[in-house]
Each structure stands twice: as C-alpha cells, then as structure tokens.
Amino acid sequence: MYLRNALRAATAMTLVATTAAHADTLTIATVNNGDMIRMQGYTDNFTEATGIDVEWVTLEENVLRQRVTTDITTKGGQFDIMTIGMYETPIWGANGWLVPLDGLSAEYDVDDILPAMRGGLSNDGTLYAAPFYGESSMVMYRTDLMEQAGMEMPDAPTWQFIREAAAAMTDRDNDINGICLRGKAGWGEGGAFITVTANSFGARWFDEDWKPQFDQPEWNDALTFFVDMMNESGPAGYATNGFNENLSLFQQGKCGMWIDATVAASFVTNPDDSTVADKVGFALAPNSEGVDKRSNWLWAWALAIPAGTEQADSAKQFIEWATSKDYIELVAENEGWANVPPGARTSLYENPNYQEVPFAQKTLESILSADPNNPTVKPVPYVGIQFAAIPEFAGIATQVSQEFSAVYAGQQTVEEALAKAQAFTSEEMEAAGY
C-alpha cells in the first residue's frame, strides 16, 4: 500500500517536469554585479520596444564561468547571450564559439566604444563581445589620513611613495591599516593583482619563446616589495582578502589606501554604505621608480552570443540595446550619472554631466593607459594585462597564486614560491605544447 502510493507520487512528480523553452524568449547568463542587476530592472523597456522576452540566469562569477564554458564547449545551447570577460572573448572568438558582432546599426556607433575595450574584446579585428561596463584599477585613498600624515598624493604615484605613505598612515592602535590589497588565491583575485604589480616592476609572465619568467629578478623584486609593504602596513590575514574583504575594510574606515578596480569608486563614495564617502581621493595605479609601466589592469564584462543559439538576431538586438548610449541615458535619468555603467564608451567621458562625477576622470585615464597588447616594458607573446589570453592561463595562474598566497600567510619564502611557480608553469606549458 505504502509502496504503491509512493510509486504514484513519484510518477506524478516526474510527469510534472517540463523542458519547454519559449522560442521568442532570450535566456541570458550573467553575474550578480550591481550594474548587471540594474540592467535586469530595465529589461521591460526592451521587451516593450521589441516584443522579445528576456529570462535571466544570474550566477556567482566562478559558477558562471564554469557553467557557460561547459555549455559553449558542448554546444548545449542553453543561453542566447552570455556575460563573459576579456579573458574568454578572444579565445572563444578564435575557436569559432561566438557569433561575430558585425553589422551593428549606425545608431549604435560601434566606433564610440573605447579603443582599449574594443581591442580586448576582439580577435583578428573582429568584435565578439560588446562591453557592458569596463574597468581598470587605480588608487583610492583617504584624503583626511593623507593630510594627517603630512603627505600629498601625486596624480601618478610610485610604489615607493605608496609604501612610505602607507607606513605613515598606519595606526595599529586605532585599527587603521595604511594599505589594503588583494592577497586571496585565484587568478582573478590576488593572482590578477600580483601580476599587474609585477608588470610595474618590469616583470612578465613569459618571454617571446613562452618561457616562464619567475626565475628573473623582476619577479623577486615585485613579490618581495609587496610582502614587505603588506607586512609593514597591511591588515592582518591579508592572504585571504579579495575585492569584497578590502571593500568592507575601506568602507569602515580601516584602510588608508586601497588599490583595486575602478568600479569600486562608486561603492566607496556612496554615503549609504561607506563611512568615509566624503573623504576619498583617487590617483593612478603606481609603478616602480624607473619602470615605464603602471600597475593598472583592464577588464570588461561584456555580452556575447554563443554560436549555438538559434536566436542570434534577437540576441544582437538586445546587446545593441543594453550597451547603447540610450541605455546609459536611461540609467542616468532614473538613478543619476554616478550609477551608469562605466568604462565602455568614449561619449560617456565627453559628457559634461559625467565629468562632474569625482572618479570619472581618473577612471578614464586608467582605462586609456592600459594596453593589453603591451602589458609590460619587455616584449611578450601574449595579449592581456592581468592575464595572458591563452586557455592554459587560468589553471596555471590559479596554482601560482596559491603559492604566492602561501607566502603572504608566512608559510613559505618568496624564493620558494617563485621556484615552485617556475617549475609548475614550465611543466604545464611544455605539456600544452608551447
């Protein structure tokens, strides 16, 4: 009797299952970042204008990466639009996994996209993803603490100045750390930060023959400098701090300086969330004295169309709408200029309204000075600043960043970590046929 009822219930439940998908509905995979969530709120405007419905699949960044990578490599066809970054776009474009974004309308004005963004989202001159918002990195600092320290932040500081200022601003008794930086393992977290720091000390990931360069003195200089500075003036446990942890510390007034994504500027100057909103200044990311390369990265969250979709035309329509000048106007009208998606279009930075936003100019300067084709002072065979746009990079850099995080946690020396990084990367690159 029990078994029969259970069988009936199971059959009924299984029958309820459906797999139907609506033909006139776009399914978009995206990340849970503020600008993306805001866009979801305006989707009805697009639906009203075009009659095309939109379904959102919002996932955490790492889950999203795994999810869309699985789907695109197996041609699963689950998504009509994917939110991807500068790392994936050129690789996937070259593999033929993305629909080229050509034939965009004249009103869209594709030439208005910032050249650095357009370059980073293209392969062989073909645009494969449209930037929804872009970011570089810069220094955010407490103007009041800097003044108390009797120092003045230059527009373009050096690492040596940053270290000196951090030491002067540190006040352990009042729980103020001179500087907060990413130390968390992961190629997109601490791995990205130490890579751009190394760039600004003259280091590079690979030479022109794809030989790993961790055995070169520049890497040792960069890593040693970073560890020493953080031990002097950084927060305890910085080996596990990423973007969010540092944002939290800065917003609570526990950091004198924070060098991170330009998109953070709108968070730290928002009085609803930040206790230091009116005391924040901005400067370009630092370089080491004598090295003509700053430690700012370049990244964009962009919308791309997977080659497997049957709704490429509708998807292109959506991308044109979401990354258009009109969309920026729409957000500005409803939520103010400080909340528009930054870093994608030249016209935004020419707009007098946007120029009044305190961090706009430094954001633009940071983005414009980032060059993915020449990320270091020495020549490199790869494209990308905080990454090398090759499929093997994510796996290798994750492992390498774990070794570096172990140094930050005091578990091994700089020399040991670099030796391990060199051996591991050499092995992986050799196995990959480089």
Partner 1 sequence: MARAVTTQRKTFNTALAWIVGLLIFFPILWTILTSFKTEAQAIASPPIFLNFDWTLENYAIVQERSDYMRFLWNSVIIAGGSTILGVIIAVPAAWAMAFVPSKRTKDILLWMLSTKMLPAVGVLYPIYLLFIRLGLLDSRAGLVVVLMLINLPIIVWMLYTYFREIPGEILEAARMDGATLKEEILYVLTPMAIPGIASTVLLNFILAWNEAFWTLNLTAVNAAPLTAFIASYSSPEGLFFAKLSAASTMAIAPILILGWFSQKQLVRGLTFGAVK
Q: Which is nearer to partner 1, 16 or 106 (CB)?
A: 16
Pick the stretch among 69-77, 123-131, 205-213, 424-432 that binds partner 1 (CB under 8 A): 69-77
Whether the CB-CB separation of 368 and 114 falls below 8 Å is answered with yes
Residue 16 sits in the site that holds partner 1 (CB under 8 A) = yes
Q: How far is the CB of 241 from partner 1 (least distance, A)?
A: 13
Q: Which is nearer to partner 1, 4 or 173 (CB)?
A: 4
Tokens linked to 188: 């997109």
Q: Around Cβ 80, how many Cβ atoms within 10 Å?
A: 24
Residue 335 sits in the site that holds partner 1 (CB under 8 A) = no
Question: Residue 426 is which amino acid?
Answer: S
First to last CA, the chain: 66
Residue 33 sits in the site that holds partner 1 (CB under 8 A) = yes
User: Rounded to whole angstroms, how far apart are CA atoms 334 and 35?
Assistant: 14
Element of type H or E holding 304: strand 299-304
User: Rounded to whole angstroms, how far apart are CA atoms 95 and 90?
Assistant: 9
- The conformational region for residue 52 under phi > 0 = left, psi -120 to 50 = alpha, else beta, is beta
Residue 254 sits in the site that holds partner 1 (CB under 8 A) = yes
Q: How far is the CB of 27 from partner 1 (least distance, A)?
A: 6
Residue 102 sits in the site that holds partner 1 (CB under 8 A) = no
Q: Which residues 213-252 are close enough to bind partner 1 by CB under 8 A?
A: 242-244, 247-248, 251-252
Give the x/- contact pattern for partner 1 in 109-138, rule: CB under 8 A: ------------------------------
- The residue whose two tokens read 């030796």 is 419
Give residues with Cβ within 8 angstroms of 146, minimum separation 6.
152, 153, 165, 169, 256, 281
Q: Which is nearer to partner 1, 18 or 124 (CB)?
A: 18
Binding stretches for partner 1 (CB under 8 A): 1-4, 6-7, 9-10, 13-14, 16-21, 27, 29, 31-34, 37, 40, 55, 57-63, 66-67, 70-71, 74-79, 188-189, 242-244, 247-248, 251-252, 254, 261, 263-264, 267, 272-273, 275
